[in-house]
Amino acid sequence: MAKADQLLTVLWLLRSRSRMTAEQLAEQLETSVRTVYRYIDALCMSGVPVEAEPGHGGGYRLPSTFRDAPLFFNIDELKAMVHAGRFAEQAGYPYIEPLRQATGKMQSRLSEEQMEQLQRHTTGFEVMQPSSLQVDEQLLQELERAVASGRTVRIRYEKWKGAEAEERSVNPYGLVHRMFKWYLIGHCHLRDDMRVFRADRIVSAETSDETFERPTSFSLREFMEDRFDFGHYPADPDEERTVRLQGEEHVISMLCDNWFVRNRIVSQTRTELTMTIDFTGMNGYFARYLMSFGKSIRILEPVELRQLIAKIAREVADFHGGDGYGAEGSN
């Protein structure tokens, strides 16, 4: 067993027992008493407050105030924690300062060699925030505490930026971070139904004394998947359509990277893509998304998708090119 594993074993033995002698530790570790002495010295040097009581009935023990056992991480575990912290910070994680303190404590206990290794793995790793929709940290903390305590929260919510804020009382079921935005999921008292609130549109939040119980069967992930259709197909196969597209290599690659498309792909080559999509999705977001590629994409099937895009294009052309456009635009 590696020395780090042996030290950790000694630590957990001392945590689980009120007191252990060197002989008892040696028996558990199947090693010599002299080696146990070296392990105890190593733990003390690393900052673990091991107390030694001499005489009959004595032994080694940890003080009752000691709760946080130091852990022995390898370089992959260390860099994973630092990298994860950077992702959390750019996502607007509401407890970023405690996270920084925790990683700081961890790094303060590293040896020079470990610190040098960690720096090599972290100086070439950065996470950029792609969204300007920052949410106030205190507001997110208030919402998170309301979720944890099962208390109704009163919010002032803007349906769109600049709209007059509405008062809502919500039983908060959870917070979800999706596509660079934070969402509050909960039961809205005003609508008497489940609702999704964008956190960047919540002007203020105040936790009340009113309590609620979140259904044990409720799943935030399943709710959001159903609400935003993350690649879930309808149960009725007659509602599905097969879409075949042809285009330049970079265009097909861009399509396959799209959040709406990637979970619907059936097959792809460098210049062709086959996917399945429900009728509603094809006639809604997807048709208008394809229009953004102009003539660089060709719809091989279905015919109705080609006809729909042609119809939308004619309507847009008529609107912008018609004589009435100027009059409407001046109102």
Pick from 187, 201, 192: nearest CA to 153: 187
- Candidate from 27-31, 66-70, 202-206, 222-226 with smallest mean pLDDT: 66-70
Number of domains present in the structure of the chain: 4
Amino acid symbol at 90: Q
Q: How much is the pLDDT for 261?
A: 87
Reported as a pLDDT band with limits 50, 70 and 90, residue 181 is confident
Q: Is residue 103 part of a domain?
A: yes
> How confident is the model over 159-170, as a mean pLDDT?
88
Residue-range definition of the domain harbouring residue 32: 3-61
Domain end point (choices 180, 195, 227)? 227
Q: Per the structure block, which two tokens stand in for 5? A: 């594993």
> Which tens digit of pLDDT belongs to each residue from 2-45?
577 788 788 878 877 778 899 999 998 889 999 999 988 888 88
Rounded Cα distance between 49 and 47, Å, is: 6
> Which tens digit of pLDDT belongs to each residue from 112-145?
777 888 888 888 888 877 655 678 889 999 999 9
Rounded Cα distance between 288 and 302, Å, is: 15
Report CA-CA distances (Å) from 219 to 177, 215, 224, 271, 306: 14, 9, 9, 39, 38
Is a pLDDT exceeding 80 seen at residue 209?
yes
Output the domain CATH number for residue 157.
2.30.30.520
CB under 8 A, 24+ apart: contacts of 322-328: none
Whether residue 206 sits in one domain with residue 283: no
Report CA-CA distances (Å) from 25 to 17, 58, 60, 151, 253: 11, 13, 9, 48, 60
> Which tens digit of pLDDT belongs to each residue from 226-283?
776 544 444 444 467 899 999 999 999 989 888 788 888 999 999 999 998 887 778 7
Output the domain CATH number for residue 35.
1.10.10.10
Whether residue 267 sits in one domain with residue 310: yes
Mean pLDDT over the full length of the chain: 84
Rounded Cα distance between 256 and 233, Å, is: 18
